[in-house]
Amino acid sequence: MTKYVINGGNPLNGEIEISGAKNAAVAIIPAALMVDGVCRIENLPEISDVKTLLSILKEMGAKIRVVDKRTLDIDCSRVGTTAATFDMMRRIRASYYLIGALLGRFGRADVAMPGGCNFGGVRPIDQHIKGFTAMGASVHVKNGIVTAVTSDMVRGAAIYLDVVSVGATINLMLGATLAKGMTIIENAAREPHIVDLANFLNSMGADIRGAGTNEIKIRGVKCMNGGFYSIIPDQIEAGTYMAAVAATGGRLCIRNVIPKHLECISVKLREMGVTIVDLDDSVIVQRDAPLLKTHVKTLPYPGFPTDMQPQIATVLCLAEGTSTITEGVWDNRFKYVDELAKMGSTIRVDGRTAVVEGVPYLTGAPIKASDLRAGAALVIAGLAARGKTVLDGVQYIERGYDKMVSKLNSIGADVKIVSEREGKKITKKIV
């Protein structure tokens, strides 16, 4: 069992480099299944979700060559199976992208139902199923396996999404890339990783237009032949470090970012009194005055990201006055509030809204992460708190944050990784 021991109270200063985007990587790796040739993918984050997906592809017969720590050659030309029903599929949400990729390539997919973060409430896939059905597939779910079959191959269709869904937009783009004819996805999600997936597929030979708007047109192509692609920087990883500096104080240069993708986060931090300077591919974040209250509502991109909601809530715990946070994407994403309460925060949750009464300081405590972004929020709380925080459940953080502990320690934090194996305690100060 691994825990983080955080000695809080240090401001964060210096420079940090952002890794490739998790939610782009977990869409692009399954997309490689449809390419008849070698895809060289650069700027992959070193996170456990990526490792799990690569293991799944290998089990299916893909050849994967490590070029360097962040660059891989993936060759799926010899993959001959339509089934991805391994146990490890259930560990990650993005395994459901194999439905679109396999259906597009073979006209059939048998895929174990996805797992991933469970922050409360259900995570339906009805919009994915609706889209695949419109594209000529018959889709059944039995014993936890989704089977999607077409009589011949997928055909293009006009699909209107009833909810703006990142996952459905990506899955239907995958299914449509090698389809016969044109697919139009209306009310599509516009997140940066959707544009990144479209750019990846186009650079491999696909014909996709409109990604980044709410109407995406995909003209099916016969095959894709391979090429090179570099994944965009992670918007949420960058936002998490921005929030960390807001909570602890200090001055941080965050490098390898696309400032435009961070605007929705920067505007809220500026309202809270944080200084943010946008440069070409970096941002400087500085906080040296008391934090001010504000109101945040999460929405699909370009709105404030739900994946930053727990982190911003943690910062607002330290702001003067009463702030509110309204969750506009998920039914329930406030499980972390009970853990923050153990550190002295005052948050009241009423349905989809949390009312945060700012407190002058948080106090270190033993706490537990229940999902990836809750985990990031609790790390921020520990960094800003007085005293020692022992954080359990850090495997969630390692699903999506590349070397978080060493990055934090390089900018002045004091975080140790403590593993307990067979009753023995091993403490590592990671630098």
Q: Write out the residues near ligand EPU by the rule CB under 6 A.
A: 23, 26, 93-94, 117, 123-128, 163, 165-168, 189, 306-307, 329-330, 372-373, 400
Strands, E assignment, 34-76: 38-42, 63-68, 71-75
Three-state DSSP class for residue 274: coil
In terms of phi and psi (left: phi > 0; alpha: psi -120 to 50; beta: otherwise), the region of 334 is alpha
Nearer to ligand EPU, 194 or 319 (CB): 194
Nearer to ligand EPU, 125 or 198 (CB): 125
The least distance separating ligand EPU from the CB of residue 379, rounded to whole angstroms, comes to 14
Query: What's the longest Cα–Cα distance across the chain?
Result: 64
In terms of phi and psi (left: phi > 0; alpha: psi -120 to 50; beta: otherwise), the region of 387 is left
Q: Evaluate whether 89 touches 95 at the Cβ level (below 8 Å).
A: yes
The least distance separating ligand EPU from the CB of residue 168, rounded to whole angstroms, comes to 5
Q: Minimal CA–CA distance to 106: which of 58, 166, 59, 149?
A: 149
Q: Minimal CA–CA distance to 197: which of 119, 69, 104?
A: 104
DSSP-derived letter for residue 191 is -
Residue 137: CB partners within 8 Å, gap ≥ 6? 103, 148, 149, 150, 154, 175
Q: In what order do the strands lie in the sheet with 71-75?
A: 63-68, 71-75, 38-42, 227-230
The least distance separating ligand EPU from the CB of residue 307, rounded to whole angstroms, comes to 5
117 is catalytic: yes
| Residue nearest ligand EPU, Cβ-based | 167
Q: Evaluate whether 212 touches 300 at the Cβ level (below 8 Å).
A: no
The least distance separating ligand EPU from the CB of residue 298, rounded to whole angstroms, comes to 8
Nearer to ligand EPU, 93 or 287 (CB): 93
- Polymer length of the chain: 431
The least distance separating ligand EPU from the CB of residue 277, rounded to whole angstroms, comes to 27
Nearer to ligand EPU, 382 or 400 (CB): 400
Q: Minimal CA–CA distance to 248: which of 6, 5, 11?
A: 11
Nearer to ligand EPU, 249 or 400 (CB): 400
The least distance separating ligand EPU from the CB of residue 122, rounded to whole angstroms, comes to 7
The least distance separating ligand EPU from the CB of residue 300, rounded to whole angstroms, comes to 7
- Encoded tokens for 86: 């391994």
Instruction: Kindly calculate the radius of gyration of the chain based on its CA atoms and give it in whole angstroms.
Output: 22
Torsion of CA 131, 133, 138, 140, to 10 degrees: 50
Q: Minimal CA–CA distance to 94: which of 419, 400, 408?
A: 400
Nearer to ligand EPU, 298 or 345 (CB): 298
Residue 287 is inside which H or E element, if any? strand 282-287
How are beta strands 424-429 and 415-421 bridged, if at all?
A: antiparallel
31/302 Cα distance (integer angstroms): 24
From 76, 117, 264, 317, active-site residue: 117
The least distance separating ligand EPU from the CB of residue 212, rounded to whole angstroms, comes to 15
Q: What are 245's strand-pairing partners?
A: none
Phi, psi for 174 (deg, rounded to 5): -65, -50
Catalytic positions, written as ranges: 117
